[in-house]
């Protein structure tokens, strides 16, 4: 778990509430080449950013404190998705291009609350702890 002292914390990034937010964890075990040899973490983040450019806000987090599920990607619904009852979806073991592509396609099509989760997202989804949710709020400023 990567922790920074309060004086070194960056202020939350400004997020537009009208579109989905995708948080890609890169701290702790996520993004760790030793734990996940052969997986290109930089390419994954690039794939998400390029695939969702203009569609969703993509945020890289220093740690979401869900290391048992690394690599973790969290998708928060946009305004329409929240209005339709969508909630944040925490996806673990996002360690292959197919899972990443499914996440990107799903968010581009509308994401939580608007479009049913693809199979790879549904299989890898997990319920976060209160601490995980707190880390997400710190990373995005979105609760």
End-to-end CA distance of the chain: 20
Q: Is residue 100 part of a domain?
A: yes
| pLDDT exceeds cutoff 80 at 141 | no
In this structure, is residue 5 part of a structural domain? no
139 confidence band (pLDDT: 50, 70, 90): low
How do residues 41-98 score in pLDDT, each as one tens digit? 889 999 999 999 999 999 998 888 888 898 999 999 999 999 999 999 999 999 999 9
Do residues 35 and 5 make contact, with C-beta atoms less than 8 angstroms apart? no
Q: For residue 1, tell me if it sits in a domain.
A: no
Q: Is the pLDDT of residue 2 over 60?
A: no
Q: Which CATH number covers residue 124?
A: 3.40.30.10
Domain of 81 in residue numbering reads as: 18-140
- DSSP alpha helices (H): ranges in 22-125? 41-51, 79-83, 97-108, 119-124
Higher pLDDT, 27 or 104: 104
Question: Is residue 119, in this structure, part of any structural domain at all?
Answer: yes
Contact 124/91 with Cβ under 8 angstroms? yes
pLDDT band for 12, please (50, 70, 90 cuts): very low
In a domain, residue 59? The reply is: yes
pLDDT at 67: 86
Please choose, from the candidates 15, 98, 113, 93, the residue with its C-alpha nearest in 3D space to the C-alpha of residue 56: 15
Predicted TM-score (pTM) of this structure: 0.83
Is 114 a member of any domain?
yes
Average pLDDT over the chain, rounded to an integer: 84
Domain count, the chain: 1
Cβ-Cβ contacts under 8 Å for 100 (sequence gap 6 or more): 44, 47, 48, 73, 94
């Amino acid at each position: 778990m990567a922790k920074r002292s309060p004086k070194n914390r960056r202020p939350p990034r400004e997020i537009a509430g009208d579109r989905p937010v995708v948080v890609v964890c890169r701290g702790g075990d996520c993004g760790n080449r030793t734990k996940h040899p052969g997986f290109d973490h930089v390419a994954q983040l690039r794939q998400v950013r390029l695939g969702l450019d203009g569609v969703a806000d993509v945020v890289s987090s220093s740690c979401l404190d869900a290391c048992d599920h690394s690599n973790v990607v969290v998708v928060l619904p946009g305004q329409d998705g929240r209005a339709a009852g969508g909630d944040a979806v925490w996806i673990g073991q996002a360690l292959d291009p197919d899972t990443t592509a499914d996440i990107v396609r799903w968010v581009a099509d509308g994401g939580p609350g608007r479009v049913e989760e693809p199979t790879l997202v549904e299989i890898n989804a997990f319920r976060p702890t209160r601490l995980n949710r707190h880390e997400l709020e710190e990373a995005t400023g979105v609760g």
